[in-house]
Homo-oligomer: A and B are copies of this chain.
Amino acid sequence: MNIKGTLVIIGGNEDKGQSIATSEQDHLEFIEDGILSRVVKESGGVSAKIVIIPTASRIPDQVAKSYLSAFEKLGCKNVEVADIRSFEDAEKKENIQLIEEADCVMFSGGDQSQITRKIGGSKIHNILQRRYQDDNFVIAGTSAGAMCMSEKMITGGNPKEFFKKGTVKIGDGMGFIPNLIIDSHFIRRKRFGRLAEAVAHFPHLIGIGLAEDTGLVVKKCNSFEVIGSGMVILFDGNSLIFNNESKTPQGEAMTVANLKTHVLADGFHFNIEERKVYFNSTLTV
């Protein structure tokens, strides 16, 4: 499969104190200019048509406004919002047209299940898949918008109980990249156990834990570059030598041995097919 498009998968950056949001869906996700600049660059520069999709958020108007102003600050002249709040909205002519004309779509944070519920299986989903495959098309997403990109998607679960069997909830994502399973806010929201459990359950997948203000630029569905000021944690399930996930009763602690872990900072690359780490074009592992 020859994929022409690019994914920009961003860990998100929490609103720190300006809001009284109590739930993840109510947070405004502030992305550092550096990462957003990269989205613009991958999309073809400040003239690119960028379409914001704030479907994951419970405060889509505020989120859309915040992205419009952030892209405007970077000099972008052609930014619009696809206001998709239901499956019907994801089949509407004007929204379809926006996506057909876009160089880049940007999924906001919030609840990733809202994206799959309202856009998954819709005409817009089909167009996104076709354009991602055939065009120089960019799909960017932060937080929930990042987590929805894989085929298998973490949907929730109590982080305090993770790595006890059955705690992580996993559903179907948007399927833009089949080999990964993605978690965001990896450091601040203590998600080590949640991602490790997901990889124990699907050991053929590569678990991706995105720290805040950190992202991946995925090319041809096969290699990615780390960008931003934080780190990306990779769990390579292929290396597991022992894994009793399937035999562990629900609610009990599991054991895995030999989980190959990489912690990668800005500028490092990972080849998904080879499962190897590069710096620039030099093989490091």
Give Cα distance in the complex from A277 to B254, angstroms: 14
Is A175 engaged at the interface, CB distance under 8 Å to the other chain?
A: no
Give the distance in Å from the alpha carbon of A113 to the alpha carbon of B230 in the complex. 29
Count of interface residues, chain A, beta-carbon cutoff 8 Å: 44
CB under 8 Å from chain B, chain A span 180-212 = 186-190, 192-193, 196, 200, 211
**Could you tell me if B233 and A285 are in contact, using CB atoms closer than 8 angstroms?**
no
Interface of chain A: mostly helix, strand, loop or mixed? mixed
CB contact between A263 and one of B233, B259, B264 (< 8 Å): that residue: B259
Chain B residues, Cβ within 8 Å of A188: 160, 190
CB–CB B263/A196 < 8 A: yes
| Contact A231 B253, beta carbon cutoff 8 Å | yes
A241 within 8 A of B: yes
- Within A32-85, the residues touching B (CB, 8 Å) are none
B265 touches A252 (CB 8 A): yes
A285 partner residues in chain B, CB cutoff 8 A:
241-242, 257-258
**A residues at B contact (CB < 8 Å):** 159-160, 162-164, 186-190, 192-193, 196, 200, 211, 214, 229-231, 233, 235, 241-242, 248, 252-266, 268, 277, 279, 284-285
Given contacts A200-B263, A235-B261, 9 further A-B contacts (CB under 8 A): A187-B193, A190-B190, A192-B192, A193-B211, A231-B253, A231-B255, A253-B266, A257-B277, A259-B263
